Amino acid sequence: MLRVWCLLLLSLALATDVLAAPPVAHNQLTKEEIQAGWIKLFDGESTFGWKANSNVDWKVKDGIIDAATGDAGMLFTTTEFSDYELRCDFWMAKGGNSGLFLQSPFNPKDPAKDCYELNICDVHPMFKTGSLVGLAKPKKEVSGEEAWKTFHVTVRGAHLIIKLDGELVLDYTNPSPTAPKTGFIGLQKNSGHVQFRNVYLKPLAAKPLFNGKDLTGWRVVPGGVSKFTVVDGTIHVENGRGFLETTDQWADFVLQAEARTNGEHLNSGIFFRTLPGTEKNPSDGYECQIRNQWEGKDRTKPVDFGTGAIYRRIATRRVVPNDKEWFTMTLVARGPHVSVWVDGYQTTDWIDTRKPDLNPRNGLRTQAGHFSLQGHDPTTNLDFRNFRLTEYPKP
């Protein structure tokens, strides 16, 4: 009898644990994934950072992008990417027709020429689920209907590797000399009911901008009083105002870096497309702001534009990081469009509509410029590390 009671109690305990177990959280990245460079293209709450090219009724509900009505069309990222890994969960009703568009213009005309269409359609007469429409078919027939499934796509130049639920289904290299090199990422609703979640991207082909040992590739801008040193593999800055800029310049790029403020509400920034700094004009560039402060308890009300903002141009929509903790910033500049992610969450989506000017303080600058780290005032005490840069391919 005692053994029976023990088994009964154990069964009740296990059942209680199962009942108490939290549901699986979608649209979340781990700390390790964020440090590795993954960002969320879909925040789980809105279509911020996306733009539709038709009247499809795209809705966000319970952490899912849902489309069931309206004409055929796509929901595109507002940011273009080049080389990357992409992970995306999808669900499609039986008999539906959908897909993921890669390296695409906003209004693609021919998926075999001006983009890649990774098809989700079991009933297509030629290019079924797992195909690149007009280009290649999967190694074996797979299904994309009536269950949540995951595509994991790797794009390196003209080489695409497609996995479905962890299984390799297609390995394709485009032989065309005009194969698309960059573009938007699109979610398609062609016919039927389709849903998406867990849409993540990791930039590839990155190169380091800081060797972790010394300031090779960087120079202190004359006239400042900031002290820039290398401490435990980080660029440490303290003391008063000053700037440390790269010796090289870049125009269109994806920059990822980690930063930590070693005090309360400190002010700093990463400047980009910056003119060569001088004692008189040390920081004529765009500034991606660092300021972990908000009004009251509302992180959507940043103080002084907030971390992840483009200072003086557009405020962050949410202050994500905390002071005295490492955070990862992803800064993307492509022509007049600038977007920022902080710890994988998109904080800024901005187009500079000002008239062109060599100085970004005065107008639009798309020409190459330096990166520059800011020492703001006597309270400055920050660390930076893990700088890596992906350049967009030349046209």
Based on the domain organization, do 193 and 263 belong to the same domain? no
Q: Which of 173, 203, 233 is the last residue of a domain?
A: 203
Based on the domain organization, do 156 and 221 belong to the same domain? no
CA within 13 Å, CB half, 249: 12
Based on the domain organization, do 236 and 352 belong to the same domain? yes
For the segment 104-126, the average pLDDT, to the nearest whole number, is 96
Tens digit of pLDDT for each residue in 175-199?
Answer: 999 999 999 999 999 999 999 999 9
Based on the domain organization, do 46 and 64 belong to the same domain? yes
Q: Please report whether residue 2 resides in a domain.
A: no
- The yes-or-no verdict on residue 303 having pLDDT over 50 is yes
Tens digit of pLDDT for each residue in 246-299?
Answer: 999 999 999 999 999 999 999 999 999 999 999 999 999 999 999 999 999 999
pLDDT value of residue 2: 44
Q: Could you list the residue range(s) of the whole structural domain that residue 190 is in?
A: 31-203
**How many structural domains compose the chain?**
2
Based on the domain organization, do 294 and 387 belong to the same domain? yes
Q: Give me the amino acid identity at 295.
A: E
Q: Give the confidence band of 395 by pLDDT, cuts at 50, 70, 90.
A: confident
Based on the domain organization, do 236 and 361 belong to the same domain? yes
Based on the domain organization, do 197 and 273 belong to the same domain? no
Q: Which of 184, 203, 222 is the last residue of a domain?
A: 203
- The yes-or-no verdict on residue 25 having pLDDT over 80 is no
Based on the domain organization, do 161 and 219 belong to the same domain? no
Instruction: Assign residue 199 the CATH number of its domain.
Output: 2.60.120.560
Based on the domain organization, do 94 and 127 belong to the same domain? yes
Q: What percent of the chain has pLDDT over 70?
A: 94
Q: Please report whether residue 8 resides in a domain.
A: no
Q: Please report whether residue 9 resides in a domain.
A: no
**pTM for the structure as a whole:** 0.93
Based on the domain organization, do 89 and 53 belong to the same domain? yes
Q: Which of 183, 203, 223 is the last residue of a domain?
A: 203
